[in-house]
Structure formats: structure tokens, C-alpha cells
Structure 1
Amino acid sequence: MDLLSLQEMRTMNDDLIEEQITSTKKVLFEFRMKQATRQSFKPHIYKQYKKQLARLCTIIQEQQANEQKLHE
């Protein structure tokens, strides 16, 4: 899985964002397992994936807030 730019994330539909969230969580789990078993991994990449997950969740929240405003 590649890291995505913010513009790429904002152009995705809900299903694709949910898929990206799931795959990002899997990557983060794999990093935690590598860390627990003392295998080599790059901590800066772990940090980047954590930020990507937060951005994806934020985009979902923004989209839900916009939908609620439209329905009011």
C-alpha cells in the first residue's frame, strides 16, 4: 500500500476511503507485530501511516458533517 496525498484522499468515494482505512490499519498492525518481535522496520513510515489513517478518518467526518448540513 502506498501513502496517499491529501488531494487523492479527498477525491475518493466513501467505499474507497473505507477500503483504504482497513488496509492502513492492517499495515499498522504489521508494523506493531514487527516491533514486538524485534524485527527491523522503519519507524518514520509507521508515523506516516498513522497520519494517513487520521487524515482518512477526518475526511469521513467532514463528509458526514457536510451531508448533515445539506439535510437540515
Structure 2
Amino acid sequence: MPLPKIEDARSLSDKELQEQIVAVKRELFQLRFQKGTRQLEKSHQFKHNRHRLAQLMTVERERQLASIVSDAETE
């Protein structure tokens, strides 16, 4: 399975972005739990989920900075 593309994250609405961040964090928790109980079979999922979380948080930060800039321009 290839790594997800950042364009997918950029196409999400703000609410969907937040939901995805929570879902990926929950999934990472589940993976850590499986690793601790020695039930983890697909260790590559850590890399994919961390990559996805970084993309989602990057898009979130880009939007925060864009709103700060637009607010500064209107003043």
C-alpha cells in the first residue's frame, strides 16, 4: 500500500480534518496496544499512520497560518 498523498488531506473540510486527526491518533494508540500485547502483525502501519498524521497536522497548521495572515490583512 503506498503512502497517502497530501492532496487528499487538503481536500478535506476543517471538520473532516479534525475527525481524521482524532481517528489516526486512535489508530496509533491501538497499534501501540497491539504491539505491547504482541498481537501486532503489520508493523508497517506505524509508518503509514505517522505519515498520515503529519500530513493532516501540516494542513491544519497551514490553514491556521492562512487565517492569521488574512486577519492581519483586514486590520
Of 5-14 and 55-64, more deviation after overlay is shown by 5-14
1:41 partner SS: coil
Shift of 1:4: 4.4
Where does structure 1 differ by over 3 angstroms across 4 or more consecutive aligned residues? none
The residue type equivalent to 1:7 in the other structure is E
TM-score in terms of structure 1 length? 0.88
Structure 2, gaps ≥5 residues long: none
1:29-57 deviations in Å (ceiling 9; x for gaps): 11000000011321111111011101101
Alignment coverage as a number of residue pairs: 70
Shift of 1:23: 0.5
Q: Which residue of 2 aligns with 1:47?
A: 47
Q: Which residue of 2 aligns with 1:18?
A: 18
TM-score in terms of structure 2 length? 0.85
RMSD: 1.3
